[in-house]
Structure 1
């Protein structure tokens, strides 16, 4: 897997593209107005996107009817030398539809423990927690 990045302006704005060719803007979000996501935001988006694709795929295979899916990913950072890596990442999945709670729980377990390459890549250095709300009821 490979990506390419090109600097767009005289500061920190970059345009990144992967195999799909879809451009993603990356910028320094610390000072002033940002025109793109920060690298750390992109990491959280990667965790969220990877697990969302897994969970939806698993539930669709089980013929579960998903009428709404949203995800919130929050990272807690710590200072290590001059860097601020994530110490924990908390994922909150919100599902609505005709979905069996046990199947939703199992889909998330499979994603985070077996299929999600992003969270599995991070698991040696970051604790990834998740919770699920199904039809307005917290089930995990």
Structure 2
């Protein structure tokens, strides 16, 4: 897998592309005018996106009817020398529809523990936890 980044201004605005050729804008919050997500925001988005794709895929295969899917990903950071890496990431999944709660819980478990390459990449370095809500009820 390979991505490319090209600088677009005199500051920190970059355009990134991977094999899909989809453009992602990356920037730093140092300036008032921000043109993209920060690398740390992108990492949280990657965790959420990877798990979202897995969970939806698993539930669709089980013929569960998802009418709404939302996810919140929150990272807790620590100070290490001059850096501030994540020490913990918590994901909250919100599902609505005609969905069996046990199937939703199992889909999340499979995603976080077996299928999601992003979450598994972080194992040992960052504690990743999750909660699942189906129709506003925690399962």
TM-score by length of 1: 0.98
**What is the rounded CA distance, in whole Å, between the counterparts of 1:57 and 1:13 in structure 2?**
34
TM-superposed CA distance for 1:20, in Å, is 0.6
Which SS does the other structure have where 1:111 is aligned? helix
2:32 paired with 1:32: yes
Q: Which runs of 5+ in 1 are unaligned?
A: none
Gaps of 5+ in 2: none
State how 1:96-111 maps to structure 2 within 5 Å: 96-111=96-111
- After TM superposition, the structure 1 = structure 2 runs for residues 1-140 of structure 1, keeping only pairs within 5 Å, are 1-139=1-139
Deviations 1:66-88 (A, max 9, x none): 00000000000000011000000
Using the size of structure 2 for normalisation, the TM-score is 0.98
Q: CA deviation at 1:54?
A: 0.1
Q: Runs of at least 4 residues of structure 1 off by over 6 A?
A: none
Q: Give the whole-Å Cα distance in 2 for the aligned partners of 1:88 and 1:33.
A: 29
